[in-house]
Structure 1
Amino acid sequence: MHETDLHLEPNEASDLTVINVANPGYDRTMLTVLDEAHAEDALALLIHQENCPLDEGWEARRVPTEPSTADDKTEDAEACATRDGYAYLLGSQFGKKTGPLSARRSWIARIPEHDLVHADKPTLEIARLRFGLHRAVNDALRGTALLPLGKLARERYIDATIKIGVKENKRWAGRVQPEDQPINVEAMEFTAEGSLLLGLRYPVTAEGHPLLVEILHPETLFEDPDALPEPGRVFHLQNIGSAAAPAGFRALDTRDGHSFDAVIGDLDAANKSATVLEDHPEGGEAASEHVRFTVAGEGAGLTAECVHHFGEIRRVEGVAIDHEGHSHFVIDEEGHVALRTLVVE
């Protein structure tokens, strides 16, 4: 494993995806997102100089963009992916560690890959979803046995959010319902057919397995952000995670829309007063792993192959596989962001 320190502010980098646009002088261009910024300020490119070994020649560049909606009501970018010449960003759809759920985290955005690399200040198209994905994912999970929602999470995330919606007459009132689970989306990718796969860090199955939820016709999220997304299949990784150490998705990547690489890990960071872990202390036990699996069929269980175990490294936030098959990971470490590369000899 080669490691490079990335000088990025803020240090909370999430996810990683390959950008497929020629960038003269560089042989690799990848996108990461920064979750402590508004969507338009959350983009950064990680680029590698041609003819340099993989443990040298990396640069990190912030990409300022012009938001299509100028209300500064987005935060917590957690996932990125590419499809048909666009790079997509996604908010976590979650809330702060002590709740409530936040509509500022309920959004999706996209930007042309060419503009991301070559334009001075490209436009970032933002669609504020107002808990539309929350509703679609909860509807999709109705038939799945989930890790029970704890008392504190119900009070702080679900009940508190419903109360705010009614009291302040929010446009999204009614989309969060009493029987719901809060959802924390930390990974997304596109299938070969163009549907969107959401990797959930939380919730997980009752047995502690990580969940994928498919969203059909994701282009409609931009055509009418107030329309409810259409959910599709639900998958879980049947040999990853357990009741004693439940595991959720941290990152996703694909090169063909069928075979997927993922990082899985704990349900929330320990020692940060996370409500999820107050209810389920076992949710902080799972170690981080790089796994690989194929999506097929009508849903249910998938079997994953372990590619790499990270040992004591817990905050692995993104994975991307380059054109030579090398795996790149973005990792939050104390005071800095690291890019690690697993070289396949």
Structure 2
Amino acid sequence: MRVGEHRRGPASPHQRACVKLPTVHETDLHLDPNEASDLSRVLSPAALQANGWDRAMLTVLDEACAEDALALLVHTAGCPLDEGWEARRVHAEPNTGKGKTEDAEACAVRDGYAYILGSQFGKKAGPLSARRSWIARIREDDLVTKDARLEIARLRFGLHRAVNDALRDIDLLPLGPLARERYIDATIAIGEEEGKRWAGRVLPTDQPINLEAAEFRADGSLVVGLRYPVTAEGHPLLVEITNPDGLFEDEAPRPGRVWWLEDVGEPHAPAGFRALDTRGEDRFDAIIGDLDAANKSATVLEDHPQGGKAASEHVRFQLSDAAGAVTTERVHHFGAIRRVEGVAIDHEGDSHYVIDEEGHVALRTLVIE
């Protein structure tokens, strides 16, 4: 099956006759619940070999609490890429707040640990939810043990506060009246009326943030990719958090630089981040797409109907130390396929995507001939 396109630059007539289009292999993952997000390569070479695998990727299930949201996608060594895949649920014992987290949306790996983040957002009709404001980590090789421990840090809108502070001087797509009422005003009211510990961290001038992507820079700082908000011109935003490990010591998240993809998204079809992967040295692959799913009564789209128009694409870029605009290279366009939720590039350079489809979750592998 062939889907979309791959940009290689100009080719001669002879080259166009010989070069094959990308081949996409699809595997049904048989995961329940059927809402998977993001992908990260995991496990040491020793752990892979011990289990007879040559590839392993972590994905997260956003309809479960953090300790039940982890799943491994593993590939039997020696099998072709269109065979030999298996999905394995991982149960981890949380250090705190059992059952009090939800909506896992992003995962990333650094120094032998897998990190998982909640969306920091709320339901489509609001308000923002403190149960979605968290970060967790687990040792990579513990993903294949029976006594895995998941360390959870409940952020109570600390990351919301840090991202909004970082975006203070960025020209953003204006917050619509419904989002202001349902996400910002309603959340502030709950905090004050119920005397929540997080009261005061959401301010009237804030934007709700919907975090769907995360990765680590070469220097160890964390970059989070936002599905919403986006710039006033419709470009997706990356925000740096400089103290990711400090979050597990009850430090407040410290915001750093802000970047945006200047050639992705436009005012009539704004685009946000759906997933991130890194190949090191501040080189990143990303999935970008619409601001929310159409036909699901999403508040963001009620305010900004154009936010449902952007197609899903796989792009590549490199970050520099200078904040600001970043240019991209397009790798793949998914055509009519919109719910592309994760990307991971394996050791042979093949691209793997996790895709939510009606009634099931699919893994698709893009092989560039």
Give me the identity figure in percent.
75
**Secondary structure, counterpart of 2:338 in structure 1:** coil
Which one of the candidate residues 89, 112, 128 is aligned to 1:101?
Answer: 128
Structure 2 residue matching 1:292: 3-state secondary structure: strand
- Offset at residue 20 of structure 1 (A): 3.2
Separation in 1, partners of 2:158, 2:243: 14
Alpha carbons of structure 1 residues 199 and 247: separation in structure 2 relative to 1, 3 Å: same
Partner AA of 2:95 in structure 1: S
Amino acid aligned to 2:32: E
Counterpart residue identity of residue 164, structure 2: N
Using the TM superposition, give the Cα deviation of residue 217 of structure 1 relative to its aligned residue in structure 2, in angstroms: 1.6
- Alpha-carbon distance between aligned partners in 2 of 1:342 and 1:208, rounded to the nearest angstrom: 28
Secondary structure at the counterpart of residue 142 of structure 1? coil
1:41 aligns with 2:75: no
Root-mean-square deviation (Å): 0.7
Tell me the residue number matched to 2:248. 222
Structure 1 gap ranges (5+): none
Which residue is 2:225 aligned to?
A: 199
Structure 2 Cα separation of the partners of residues 158 and 257 of structure 1: 37
Query: 1: CA distance between counterparts of 2:83 and 2:98?
Result: 40
Q: What's the counterpart of residue 150 of structure 1?
A: 176
1:199-235 Cα deviation digits (max 9, x unpaired): 00000000000000000021100011xx321100000
User: Is the contact made by 1:268 and 1:274 (CA closer than 8 Å) also made in structure 2?
Assistant: yes
Q: If you compute each CA radius of gyration, which structure gives the higher value, 1 or 2?
A: 2
Question: What amino acid does structure 1 have at the position aligned with 2:268?
Answer: A
* Counterpart for residue 50 of structure 1: 77
Cα deviation 1:59-81 (Å, max 9, x = unaligned): 00000110111442100000001
Bigger mean CA offset, 197-206 vs 69-78? 69-78
Structure 1 equivalent of residue 94 of structure 2: 67
Counterpart CA distance in 2 for 1:214 and 1:5 is: 34
User: What is the CA–CA distance in structure 1 between the aligned matches of 2:313 and 2:222, rounded to whole Å?
Assistant: 23
Q: Which moved more, 1:179-188 or 1:289-298?
A: 289-298
Of 297, 301, 304, the residue aligned with 2:321 is 297
Task: Spell out the pairing of 1:1-345 with structure 2 (5 A cutoff).
Answer: 1-21=24-44, 22-23=47-48, 24-117=51-144, 119-224=145-250, 227-345=251-369
Task: Provide the C-alpha distance between the structure 1 equivalents of 2:281 and 2:140, rounded to a whole number of angstroms.
Answer: 18
1:251 and 1:262 in contact (8 A); partners too: yes
The answer on whether the counterparts of 1:251 and 1:319 sit within 8 Å (CA) in structure 2 is yes
> How far apart are 1:344 and its partner, in Å?
2.2
Q: CA deviation at 1:257?
A: 4.1
5+ residue gaps, structure 2, are 1-23
8 Å CA contact 1:135, 1:228 repeated in 2: no
- Structure 1 counterpart SS, 2:167: helix
- Return structure 1 stretches of 4+ with deviation > 4 angstroms: none
Partners in 1 of 2:227 and 2:309 — Cα distance? Answer: 13
1:200 & 1:106 partners in 2: Cα distance? 14
What amino acid is aligned across from residue 207 of structure 1 in structure 2? Answer: E
- The TM-score normalised by the length of structure 1 is 0.98
- Deviation track 1:4-35 (CA, whole Å, cap 9, x = no partner) reads 01000000000000003222311000000000
